[in-house]
Structure 1
Amino acid sequence: MPAFVVGIVQAVSPVAGKDKLQALEVDIGSGGDPLTIVTNASNVRVDSRVVVATVGCELRDGTTVRKAAVGGVSSEGMLCDAPMLGWVGGGAGAAALVPETFSAGDAPPAERPRMGGPAAAAPAAPAVEVKPLFEKKLTKEEKKAAAAAKKAEREAKKAARKDAEGVEGAMAELAVSGEAEGENTS
């Protein structure tokens, strides 16, 4: 079954005639030969643990990962970046890395793991299936409804602030007029 898995980079070599492309040999723990994956991610080194979308995986935008020639080299999957996995933090285009506590073939963590210090000593909470994070994009109607709800919420907060300011202003006027009356009666 096509999946998102942790892979260990075994070799990195430049793609001839392409400045930014690298051909990687990645062990995904399947027991077979490592996959050849072409990438432009510059943060990948030998022994890096990366998240791989294998051939047949469906991405968030609805496309399916296929074997393809990239820069003249056959690529058998793709490296995922943090936004593709729904992780907070990490840039688009940089390979999603996981600590050495993950083995080839493990499921990736549900959120971006820490890469140093004591928190990296053990994997994050049990890895969850990543597929639910790759839901379809919102329709135009859903986007409009969400925007309208946000606008209504902002307007309600604004009205509540105005009401609060109005009450405070009226209280201040009463206090001032009460002081003035107190001065006149003496």
Structure 2
Amino acid sequence: MADISEYKVGIVLSCEDIPKKGGKPMKVLKVDIGSEDDGGIPVVTTAPNVRDGSRVVVAPAGSTVVSEEGEEIQLTKSTVGGHPSWGMICDTRMLGWSGGAAGVAVQLDESFPVGTEPPASKPRPKQQEEDEVPAGPVEDGLFERKLTKEEKKKLAAEKRAAKKAAKAEKTT
């Protein structure tokens, strides 16, 4: 496993698609990793989910990555597809995190400052406080939050009470 303390949180300043020439489509990025390079460092990637403003993890030139075969490789400034690349955008496998797909860039939220070391494990969305959780399913983006056992019991009790009240009202 590579030493991720060498890696940096960066923000994509610019993202340019390179026309596909037989292989995977590539992107040329300028990424601010908090170093003395004011305009950011150039990075070439095939990660499909990188865009302007993405907060990503970068393995800069001089750091070590582990290949799929398990061998350690020290990154150097190089040229990829005719474009300079001074680092590599990291996916979850490169960081040793569980979950996530190979080749898909790790995306972090703004709570991780540019230029700092990435977290040792995959960050989880912050849990809402118990008081803030509304009863019933809540739409959060594309996914629906599942109800807890206590919430399900409460909803079932409310439904039973409403049925009982409606039945009592009918008979009177």
Tell me the TM-score range normalised by the shorter chain: 0.5 to 0.7
- Where in structure 2 are there 5+ consecutive unaligned residues? 129-172
Contact 2:19–2:25, Cα closer than 8 Å, also in 1:
no
Q: Deviations over 1:17-71 (max 9, x none)?
A: 5461000110001132300100000011111110000101111231111111111
Q: Percent identity?
A: 44
Structure-2 change in CA distance of 1:119 and 1:55 (3 Å):
farther
Structure 2 counterpart of 1:10, which letter? L
Length-normalised TM-score, structure 1 = 0.59
Task: Give the match for residue 103 of structure 1.
Answer: 113
Task: Give the match for residue 15 of structure 1.
Answer: 18
Task: Give the match for residue 27 of structure 1.
Answer: 32
Structure-2 change in CA distance of 1:62 and 1:87 (3 Å):
same
Task: Give the match for residue 91 of structure 1.
Answer: 101
Higher Rg of the two aligned structures: 1
Task: Give the match for residue 135 of structure 2.
Answer: none
Q: Is 1:112 equivalent to 2:122 in the alignment?
A: yes
Structure-2 change in CA distance of 1:106 and 1:72 (3 Å):
same
Separation in structure 2 between the aligned mates of residue 88 and residue 97 of structure 1, nearest angstrom: 14
Task: Give the match for residue 66 of structure 1.
Answer: 76
Contact 2:7–2:60, Cα closer than 8 Å, also in 1:
yes
Structure whose residues are more often strand by fraction = 2
Task: Give the match for residue 7 of structure 2.
Answer: 4
Task: Give the match for residue 48 of structure 2.
Answer: 42
Task: Give the match for residue 153 of structure 1.
Answer: none
Structure 2 counterpart of 1:45, which letter? R
Contact 1:15–1:73, Cα closer than 8 Å, also in 2:
no
Structure whose residues are more often helix by fraction = 1
Separation in structure 2 between the aligned mates of residue 119 and residue 99 of structure 1, nearest angstrom: 15
Q: Deviations over 1:70-110 (max 9, x none)?
A: 11101110101100110001111001111111111011000
The alignment's C-alpha RMSD in Å is 1.9
Length-normalised TM-score, structure 2 = 0.63
- Secondary structure at the counterpart of residue 63 of structure 1: strand
